[in-house]
């Protein structure tokens, strides 16, 4: 069949163009380091059996040797993708549940746990020999999510500032709304930051569904400052950090004082108010429709194994969910957990979270 030369040429050029694009993609693949193989791609049996992909947030960390030992023992290669944290992570999993981004998720916390379960993002799996303490944090029927670590979000205080000012440090949430602490507190926005959401939930737990909005109205009247994210609050507004800002009370974590030790390490310049806390629990789970479900289960087993649990405090600065694991020195003194953090049931959070954030915005911002 005869064709015009132009058409042939066009076809040939199109092929060339496509070839160039593919060559670029191939080049990209080679330049991505030595592990640029596709995450969990490929339906060929050789490619799926030995790779397991962990979808997590950017705070996930594990010691090289601990991870290497697991890979050695299981014969699996662990790939990590970190597409966001908190709500962004869970919502991406919901959007992609038919064709998930990986096999296992780590980093869904108790503020989003029910939502992830209700949306069918996870496949049921309970690791064998799970510690009682980790099992006690189960959500819902307890089959989809496994608690891996936990930490408390609390108001932090700059000791020196209050000593210099001669004002006693506040203790409770109620204190924060008192006139002597006017214009001293900075917190973060629950719509954009996970500690912000945790603190909002602490107030819901403390004052009930009917009282928390009034409390925030009082806080607002008392000059609470709300900023976008944790780093902004801690490094710009807080007086007890690098930034040396104007406010001596900041929303942070119960472990933060361990980062502000004096030269000799005998004391910390900041402290956490343990009566203002909300407990964040982080979970792992096998993703529904995972390409490598067996590998996924092995990885969840690993996340609650003693080797990984003992690695959690040093790597992620959270408490291991397994309370039989020894903690690093100094934690009891400078980074203790709250005895009685405020609680809100995960199902309640799931049902009301968006509505609470909007009500909060209406109370504090508008």
Region near other proteins per CB under 8 A, out of 161-169, 223-231, 300-308, 337-345: 223-231
Q: Which two tokens stand for residue 73?
A: 């023992």
Site string for other proteins, 342-361 (x = CB under 8 A): ------------x--x---x
Region near other proteins per CB under 8 A, out of 13-21, 141-149, 163-171, 201-209: 13-21
Least distance to other proteins, CB of residue 157, Å: 15
Q: Does 269 bind other proteins (CB under 8 A)?
A: no
Least distance to other proteins, CB of residue 203, Å: 16
Least distance to other proteins, CB of residue 292, Å: 13
Region near other proteins per CB under 8 A, out of 40-48, 173-181, 206-214, 301-309: 40-48
Show contacts with other proteins in window 151-210 (CB under 8 A). 189, 191-192
Least distance to other proteins, CB of residue 9, Å: 6
Are 148 and 284 contacting, i.e. CB atoms less than 8 angstroms apart?
yes
- The shares of helix, strand and coil residues in the chain, as percent rounded to the nearest 5, are 45, 20, 35
CA distance 329 to 237: 30
Length of the chain: 366
Q: Does 365 bind other proteins (CB under 8 A)?
A: yes
- What are the beta bridge partners of residue 272? 156
Least distance to other proteins, CB of residue 243, Å: 6
Least distance to other proteins, CB of residue 361, Å: 8
Angle at 334 between CA 252 and CA 198, to 5 degrees: 25
Where would I find the H helices in the chain?
A: 5-31, 45-48, 64-74, 86-95, 113-118, 132-135, 159-165, 173-176, 194-221, 230-232, 293-303, 306-316, 331-334, 346-364
Show contacts with other proteins in window 73-132 (CB under 8 A). 79-84, 86-88, 91-92, 94-96, 99, 101-102
Of residues 29, 68, 167, 221, which one binds other proteins by CB under 8 A? 29
Of residues 135, 222, 259, 336, which one binds other proteins by CB under 8 A? 259
Show contacts with other proteins in window 229-248 (CB under 8 A). 229-232, 234-237, 241-243, 245-246
Residue 138 or residue 337: which is nearer to other proteins going by CB? 337
Region near other proteins per CB under 8 A, out of 25-33, 162-170, 199-207, 275-283: 25-33
CA distance 191 to 137: 25
Phi, psi angle pair for 9, to nearest 5°: -65, -40
CA distance 122 to 256: 32
**Cβ contacts of 349-355, under 8 Å, gap ≥ 24:** 349/110, 349/111, 349/114, 349/201, 350/112, 350/113, 350/114, 350/115, 350/118, 351/114, 352/209, 353/111, 353/115, 353/197
Residue 44 or residue 141: which is nearer to other proteins going by CB? 44
Tell me the site size for other proteins, rule CB under 8 A: 90
Show contacts with other proteins in window 303-332 (CB under 8 A). 314-315, 317
Classify strands 51-55 and 77-81 as parallel, antiparallel or unpaired. parallel
Least distance to other proteins, CB of residue 323, Å: 21
């Amino acid at each position: 069949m005869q064709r015009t030369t132009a058409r042939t040429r066009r076809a040939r050029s199109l092929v060339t163009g496509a070839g160039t694009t593919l060559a670029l993609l191939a080049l990209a693949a080679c330049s991505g380091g030595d592990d640029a193989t596709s995450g969990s791609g490929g339906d060929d049996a050789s490619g799926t059996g030995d790779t397991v992909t962990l979808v997590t947030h950017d705070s996930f960390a594990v010691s090289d040797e601990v991870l290497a030992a697991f890979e050695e023992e299981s014969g699996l290669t662990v790939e990590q993708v970190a597409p966001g944290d908190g709500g962004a992570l869970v919502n991406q999993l919901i959007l992609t549940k038919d064709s998930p981004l990986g096999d296992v998720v780590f980093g869904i916390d108790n503020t989003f746990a029910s939502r992830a379960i209700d949306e069918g993002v996870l496949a049921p799996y309970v690791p064998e020999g799970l510690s009682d303490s980790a099992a006690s944090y189960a959500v819902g029927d307890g089959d989809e999510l496994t608690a891996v670590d936990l930490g408390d979000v609390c108001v932090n205080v700059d000791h020196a500032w209050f000593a210099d000012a001669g004002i006693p440090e506040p203790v409770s949430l109620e204190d924060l709304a008192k006139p002597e602490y006017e214009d001293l507190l900075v917190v973060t926005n629950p719509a954009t930051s996970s500690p912000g959401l945790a603190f909002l939930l602490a107030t819901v737990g403390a004052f009930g569904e009917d009282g928390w909005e009034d409390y925030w109205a009082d806080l607002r009247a008392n000059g609470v400052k709300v900023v976008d994210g944790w780093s902004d609050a801690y490094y710009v507004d807080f007086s007890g950090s690098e930034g040396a800002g104007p406010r001596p009370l900041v929303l942070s974590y119960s472990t933060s004082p361990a980062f502000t030790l004096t030269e000799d390490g005998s004391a910390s310049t900041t402290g956490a108010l343990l009566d203002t806390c909300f407990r964040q629990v982080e979970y792992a789970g096998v993703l529904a429709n995972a390409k490598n479900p067996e590998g996924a289960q092995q990885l969840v087993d690993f996340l609650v194994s003693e080797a990984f649990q003992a690695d959690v405090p040093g790597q992620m600065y959270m408490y291991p969910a397994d309370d039989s694991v020894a903690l690093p020195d100094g934690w009891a003194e400078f980074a203790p957990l709250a005895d009685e953090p405020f609680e809100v049931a995960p199902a309640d959070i799931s049902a009301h979270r968006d509505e609470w954030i909007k009500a909060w915005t209406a109370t504090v911002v508008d």
